[in-house]
Amino acid sequence: MLTYQDLLEKHLNRIEKPARYLGTELHSIQRKKQPKVHVALAFPDVYEVGMSHLGIKILYHIANKDPNYWAERVFAPWPDMEAILNEEKIPLMTLESSTPLGKLDLVGFTLQYELSYSNILRMLRLASIPIRSKDRKSGPLVIAGGPCAFNPEPLAPFFDVFVLGDGEEVFLRILEILEQEPDREKRLQAIAKLSGVYVPSDYEIEYKQDSTIAKITPEKKVKKAIIKDLDAVDYPTSPIVPYLQTIHDRVNVEVFRGCLRGCRFCQAGMLYRPTRERSKEEIKRLVLETLKNTGYEEVSLTSLSTADYSALACLVPELMQVLEPEKISLSLPSLRIDSFSVELAREIEKVKKTGLTFAPEAGSQRMRNVINKNVTEEDLLKTAEAAFQNGWTHIKLYFMIGLPTETDEDILAIAELGKKVRELGRRYTKRVTVTVSTSSFVPKGHTPFQWCGQNPRDELRRKQFLLKDNLKGPGLNYSWHNPEISYLEAVIARGDRRVAEAILYAEEHGAHFDTWNEYFKPELWAEAFKACGIDPDFYALRERPQNEVFPWEHIDSGVEKSFLYHEWQKALAEQTTQDCREVGCTGCGVCSSFATAISLKGGE
């Protein structure tokens, strides 16, 4: 049987980036002996994207620490390699040992975004693993985790099991079960009993005449798994160092999980509550150890909102003291809109002044109150001024369009804000550039906006043109997202089990790499929905009544539906809700649900 190495030798001229398929990178795990449990961690996108994902790094490390287990990686093969696998009639294989996926005990996918779903089905197809769970009587268990598992329904027919929430502990329990129990059916039964595990075939969905959901049986909800103390779980300090440049090619240390800002559009902010910080000393240890083991030239402190880490003001200078003499740079992926963030940026970018990026998310104060993005125009202008004073010349501003209750006035406010920042910059530098970037809002489940409809595509395009017309002139740039992609994302994000058929149809007819503009075919998806008798507008555009049973009703993130609805009503009334670590409990329900509390270890 041919290995990836053999395929590369044979077809070198046809493969754009052979280093995607080597599997021999520094710190990749090789085993000489057949392990007791052999699994694959699968990321349904190309190598450079998948290798930037923190979750896979964590699970790879945790599983491979035990010499009885072997977790290998598999990514979506790029179309050049896919053609060769098909031609040679070779099933999709793991990277490290070129083992066909069908020979493993388990294949675990991470669900990071809805538009990768076609790639999941394609990977199963390439591996010759039956695509529907009910058709798999032997071979590996096919499971999934990650944020999109919180609405697992559009993938329900394809997966044996979904894991909800923090994966570190559940994944180890699953490996233990695989080690002890050889029988496939009994393995599934044992895994089903773990907390955080959802078995879609155990649930039945009934629909009403109007196509909404009548009933989900049984009524028992599946609660997410949660790690209460991040310091107590293992974190990889010898991550694989890729040969290819990946998207986040650097030391990534997760400083905390969760975010309490309560932005109403943000699914991650609701799903990963409560905030749990790593201690400052632990973060420093992880950074230094990882640098020593990898030789990277850049460190990033990651989280949903790193400027909110409670001891960041001490941590950054302490780290810089060690990193600066070694010419290692530090980056903070998300800056808050305040002068503290500019101060931090100044601290870490002593020599290199690249652009600064801020996310006001909406142009008018009214709109920012609706989405609960608690910054004012004054905050933004002050922050921008501080940045210009400190020598930055390029500022990027991120916004969303198509938000609930949005009017043209709110859209024009985006342009106004961009221009104000440019005028401010001109007082300090002649070279100022302000880049305004908009994405189109996609309502997601488990958020206060799960009840609202998405703007139709034509409306989004109209708003984009409105901005294009009003963001002309020197020093102003405008970039936007393809509304077709946002629309498909919205259909799948709040889709139910019936949507699964359309995903399968689209994949069978050629859909894959939908997040890649050159491969995305909206007409193909439109055809798929039509062929499966699905009205995509029903999922994307419809505003839902308060009592609607959502497809994800039985999936419990810990945040109560009544809290989300209350937030939705407050949004419509343009009222804000403060961060609970500043004003006390706001009643989302997650802490009582898991008998836990926010953990601000950095500040100890």
Partner 1 sequence: MSKIITCIKFGKERSVSFISHLDVLRVFERALRRAGLPLAYTKGYSPRPKLVFGQALSLGLTSRGEYLDISLENEVDENEVQELLVATLPPGFPVYMAKNLDDKVKPVMAAITHASYLFKGDRALEILEALDKSEIIFIKEKNNKKTETDLRPLINSIEPYEDGVRLICRAGSAYNLRPDALLTALSLDDEQIKVCREDLFIERNGSLVSPLMRLM
Of 227 and 241, the one with the shorter C-beta distance to partner 1 is: 241
- Cis check for the bond before 18: say yes or no (omega within 30 of 0): no
Q: Give me the DSSP letters along 315-347.
A: HHHHHHHHHGGGT-EEE-S---SSHHHHHHHHH
Angle at which helices 184-192 and 168-180 pack, to 10 degrees?
150
Which DSSP string do the residues of 72-122 spell out, in sequence order?
A: EEEEPPPHHHHHHHHHHT---B-TTT--BGGGSSEEEEE---GGGHHHHHH
Q: How far is the CB of 53 from partner 1 (least distance, A)?
A: 20
Asked whether the CA dihedral 419, 420, 424, 427 is positive or negative, the reply is positive
- DSSP label of 363: S
Q: Is 12 in the site for partner 1 (CB under 8 A)?
A: yes
Tally: H helices and E strands in the chain = 22, 19
Name residues contacting partner 1, limited to 21-40 (CB under 8 A).
Answer: 22, 24-26
Q: Which of 97, 195, 201, 293 binds partner 1 (CB under 8 A)?
A: 293
Q: How far is the CB of 587 from partner 1 (least distance, A)?
A: 48
The residue from 130, 184, 213, 243 that contacts partner 1 (CB under 8 A) is: 243
**Number of residues this chain uses to bind partner 1 (CB under 8 A):** 27
The answer to whether 351 contacts partner 1 (rule: CB under 8 A) is yes
For β-strands 476-480 and 433-440, DSSP reports them as parallel
Q: Which one, 281 or 297, has the nearer CB to partner 1?
A: 297
If you write DSSP's letter for every residue of 125-169 in order, what string do you get? HHTT--SSGGG-SSS-EEEEESGGGGS-GGGGGG-SEEE-B--HH
Please state whether 102 falls in left (phi above 0), alpha (psi between -120 and 50) or beta. Answer: alpha
- Please report how close the Cβ of residue 246 comes to partner 1 at its closest, in angstroms: 11
Please list the residues that pair with 394 across neighbouring strands. 433
Shorter beta-carbon distance to partner 1: residue 50 or 551: 50
Q: Is 296 in the site for partner 1 (CB under 8 A)?
A: yes
Q: Judged by CB under 8 A, which of 292, 427, 431, 530 binds partner 1?
A: 292
Alpha-carbon span 74 to 67, nearest angstrom: 20
Q: Closer to partner 1 at the Cβ: 49 or 291?
A: 291
Give the range of 49-57, 348-356, 388-396, 452-460 binding partner 1 by CB under 8 A: 348-356
Q: How far is the CB of 243 from partner 1 (least distance, A)?
A: 5
68 touches partner 1 (CB under 8 A): no
Give min distance, CB of 38 to partner 1, in A. 22
- Least distance to partner 1, CB of residue 23, Å: 10
Closest distance to partner 1 from the beta carbon of 26 (Å): 4
Stretch that binds partner 1, among 169-177, 243-251, 480-488, 539-547 (CB under 8 A): 243-251
Strands 298-302 and 276-277, how do they pair? unpaired
Least Cα distance to 333 among 368, 366, 298, 304 occurs for 304
Q: Which residues lie below 8 Å from residue 207, measured CB to CB, with a gap of 6+?
A: 213, 214
HSE-up of 580 (CA within 13 Å, CB side)? 21
Q: Which is nearer to partner 1, 339 or 433 (CB)?
A: 433
Q: How far is the CB of 600 from partner 1 (least distance, A)?
A: 34
The token duo for 217 is 């049986």
The contact pattern for partner 1, residues 126-155, with x = CB under 8 A and - = no contact, is ------------------------------
Query: What is the footprint of partner 1 within residues 303-342 (CB under 8 A)?
Result: 326-327, 329
Closest CB to partner 1 among residues 9, 604: 9
Asked whether position 347 contacts partner 1 by CB under 8 A, the answer is no
Closer residue to partner 1 in complex, CB, 73/336: 73
Q: Which residues bind partner 1 (CB under 8 A)?
A: 5, 8-9, 12, 18-19, 22, 24-26, 241, 243-245, 291-297, 326-327, 329, 351-353
